[in-house]
Structure 1
Amino acid sequence: MAPLSDASPVRVALIDDDSGLLTVLERRLGALRWEIEVLAFPPDTGHLSALRLHALILNPRLTGLEYIDRVAAALPGLALIVCTAPVTVSVRVKGLRAGADDWLTKPCHPEELVARIQAVLRRRRAGELPPEEVTIEAGELAIRPDRYDAYVGEQGASLSRKEFELLRQLAAADGRVLEREDIYQRVWGYTMARGDRSVDVFVRKLRSKLELISPGWRYVHTHFGVGYRFAAERLGDDAPDVEPAAGAPRQAPAAGPGAGDSGQSSVADAIAAVR
């Protein structure tokens, strides 16, 4: 993705075959002096990267939801907005969890779509780190916003965009506990719905990936009933809050903190898998 600045024109690509919508959008975005690329088919991520886009508007009827997941993983800096015919809530949830930043249902007014694109780009701009904060180091971990990943030496964790943003927000909190609702607002850009377990699911995924590259350290700590805190601590130091990795045998819960959260995370993982 191209760096986003007030001086450079916004570059947007559209993957859709709705000629009426495309004609109106091309006219409207052109009036904003944005650069527009209309794509008749979903290109590979290498082609998308070469276009140096700020945002991609796509119709999953042409791309499939797996394309969203693939693009979000390969180009985490690219804003993804879905615009498509009515679908079920479960399909929308899958698309948003795959990496879409926003989802509009057709028929939609072109001005609303433009406003949604601008809102996503504003959130992206507000979330950009200043140059002096490019790398955050903690324990063995180097958190690299320039690569949207975390590293131990040359080994990357292969974080998705949402996983990286979750890690970055926790690490930038300087050891403070972030409440689940606050994390959701920072990472997803919306108010968290009652009962939503997305934060817990993504914390579980993030922990698993960090454990693979840094097994001797713990980074994300649970504060039960509140939220999560980032701190680099060696295993063996007082930290009973880590949940067993997926598939690992569970030990009988000990008294004290840590006994209840892993069960909730298992339920959350199961719900996320069904969705």
Structure 2
Amino acid sequence: MAADYSDGLPAVYGAAARPQNRIRVAVIDRDPGFTKVFVHRLDSLGWEYRALPGPTTPERLIAMRLNALVVDVTVIAPGSWEYLERVCARLPGLSVIVCTGPSSVAQRVRGLRIGADAWITKPCHPEELICVIEAAVRRHRRNEMPELDAAATVGEITIRPDRYQAYAGETSLELTAREFEILQLLSQSDRVLRREEIYERVWGYAMAHGDRSVDVFVRKLRQKLNAASPGWTYIHTHFGVGYRLAPTHEAAPDYESAAAVPEAAAAVPDAALSGAGAADAPDAASEAAVAPSG
């Protein structure tokens, strides 16, 4: 089984990219010259990227929430065809681009039929590879567009993926990109999500031991939700586990009923309100009955 070399490499996000249009790419390649030039171009575009020196499991790729995977099949050999087939089957929404050295027509045809979106021969210009990635991601996004753009309502909050923002009525909650991604992730799950799972699916890589980033962002997100929608509780903490989104509305107090309580209390005789003292007070009729005669 191929080793997983994906740990310990942070994602890089260029500030120039618009959050809703950014692309997340993983590059599996061991050519330092190619990788250096290519990731420099990705950085200038503001894309998130992971440079991986070897194959990683489909499960880890799922956790990274990638848009595209660029892979040199010589790096994942032997078993490159089986690996490609497994990745394409497990991640049908992932754009897979093979970028490798000279190959035969039979190899290129086999790779494309397995599920790769494109096959590019090295050496190639980084701009050509960028355009191929953009075209492949655009096709996948077009197919998923109804789901990606569909607004969702939770409680009094409307989640707008097309704007990468959430609203209470017409008022924006002014969520950061991370806060929005956490809210969207929680809204798409009907179960408790572990902190580690939230981190992997939003940040794109494994959470380090002792990292409290998820707690910090959830706290800020919760504050914004509660401030924008008073009387509602949205995010519930499951201590030692994680978080769950389950909007619950707190009923407003019944002030009329509360005001009626003092009036009812005023109608009760003082003796009845005196508790044990009232029970200890002698009954006048009883005293008269037991009093000795003249």
TM-score bin (small chain): 0.3 to 0.5
- Structure 2 length as normaliser, TM-score? 0.42
Whose Rg is larger? Answer: 2
